[in-house]
Amino acid sequence: MIVTVTMNPALDKTADVDTLVPKALNRLRNVRVDPGGKGVNVSKIIKILGGKSVATGFVGGETGRELRRLVDSIGLVGDFIEVEGITRTNLKVVDQDSSLTELNEPGIKVTQEEINGLLKKIQDLSGPGGLVVLSGSLPREAPEDTYKFLAQSLNRAGARVIIDADGPSFRAGLMAPPFLVKPNRFELLQYFGLGPDTPDEDLWPLAQKLLDMGLSFVIVSLGADGAMFATKEKRALAKTVPVRVRSTVGAGDSMVGAAALAIESGFDFEKTVRLCMASSVGAVTTEGTNPPTLEQIRELEPKFELKYF
């Protein structure tokens, strides 16, 4: 079973405005609410690909109940832990020129005891040999090394762990080590203390350093430039194919979900690369964080040119 963990989920409220004016009254149109959080996005793509997952994490208050309801309403299986406090609502305001302004509330607070409870739940849901995806930011007051703690405990229990995080929680999480990580170019360079002008060829040795730390699979996503895939045996660069881009938000989550499904299904390297590329490139053609359809993914899969290194 694949378990997706969103420790700090949100209700994503998206609205349109003609032109956003700061320090003035702005009247919103087309207000819509979606269950937010990177793990929830990962569960969405797994479902499209025909896989099964359970989405877990912490929720609280009325917005927490709404989040659970919305997760159910889109046909996902959710099993969240209720804590004190109120699940945040993140407001995304889209101007008519498509520019985006985001107003994010602070996340929920959790205790170490609640984190231990989450670990128990993840273990019960995933079972030995399960696959666990830890995605996104940590709740307020959770220790920086929470992903390391969870991943180490899950490793001991025989699960395989994917971490998609940045900054200190990515840094700490790598020490576990997880089975797979998917930093984007910026996150990888930040981890190694390198500047943004580092050429892409120089990223291979960095991916290798992560493999040397005990990881089995490293994917470095390069936005519109595609992605680099590295295991101990194989390395390939896949370029994107031209598509009409609507929103790149959550493209990385689609890639992570595809990788989780491919690993759980035991797909070979090339099939995994194609599924990751098709799912993420398909995701940028849809509004917001909406996943692509399975037909779109199947149509894209054979189109990528893979360059082996």
Ligand X SMILES: Nc1ncnc2c1ncn2[C@@H]1O[C@H](COP(=O)(O)OP(=O)(O)OP(=O)(O)O)[C@@H](O)[C@H]1O
Whole-angstrom Cα distance, residue 271 to residue 281? 15
The nearer residue to Mg ion, 83 or 284, going by C-beta atoms, is 284
**Residue 273 near which of Mg ion, ligand X, none (CB within 5-8 Å, type-dependent):** none
The nearer residue to ligand X, 142 or 275, going by C-beta atoms, is 275
Query: Is 253 annotated as catalytic?
Result: yes
Applying CB under 6 A, does 55 fall inside the site for ligand X? no
At its nearest, how many Å lie between Mg ion and the CB of residue 288? 15
Taking CA 88 as the corner, what is the angle to CA 256 and CA 85, rounded to the nearest 5 degrees? Answer: 120
Residue ranges in the chain assigned as alpha helix (H): 38-48, 61-73, 112-126, 146-156, 167-174, 185-191, 203-212, 251-265, 269-283, 294-300
Q: Is the peptide bond before 177 cis (omega within 30 degrees of 0)?
A: yes
Taking CA 48 as the corner, what is the angle to CA 45 and CA 50, rounded to the nearest 5 degrees? Answer: 115
Whole-angstrom Cα distance, residue 185 to residue 38? 18
The nearer residue to Mg ion, 173 or 252, going by C-beta atoms, is 252
The 228-267 contact track toward Mg ion, x by CB under 5 A, reads ------------------------x---------------
The size of the interface with ligand X (CB under 6 A), counted in residues, is 21
Among 43, 146, 280, 296, binds ligand X (CB under 6 A): 280
**Residue 245 near which of ligand X, Mg ion, none (CB within 5-8 Å, type-dependent):** ligand X
Among 8, 126, 184, 272, binds ligand X (CB under 6 A): 184
134 contacts 174 by C-beta, under 8 angstroms: no
Applying CB under 6 A, does 221 fall inside the site for ligand X? yes
Please provide the DSSP assignment of 240-301 as one string.
------S--TTHHHHHHHHHHHHHHHT--HHHHHHHHHHHHHHHTTSSTTPPPPHHHHHHHG
278 contacts 293 by C-beta, under 8 angstroms: no
Q: In the range 240-259, which residues lie near ligand X by CB under 6 A?
A: 240, 243, 245, 248-253, 255
At its nearest, how many Å lie between ligand X and the CB of residue 235? 15
The nearer residue to ligand X, 114 or 253, going by C-beta atoms, is 253
Residues 44, 259, 87, 187, CA torsion sign: negative
Interface with ligand X by CB under 6 A: which range of 82-90, 224-232, 267-275, 293-301? Answer: 224-232
Among 125, 176, 203, 281, binds ligand X (CB under 6 A): 281
At its nearest, how many Å lie between Mg ion and the CB of residue 207? 16
The dihedrals phi and psi of 201, each to the nearest 5 degrees, come to -60, -30
Applying CB under 6 A, does 206 fall inside the site for ligand X? no
Whole-angstrom Cα distance, residue 232 to residue 3? 25
Which residues would be at the binding site for ligand X (CB under 6 A)? 184, 221-224, 226-227, 240, 243, 245, 248-253, 255, 277, 280-281, 284
The residues assigned a catalytic role are 253
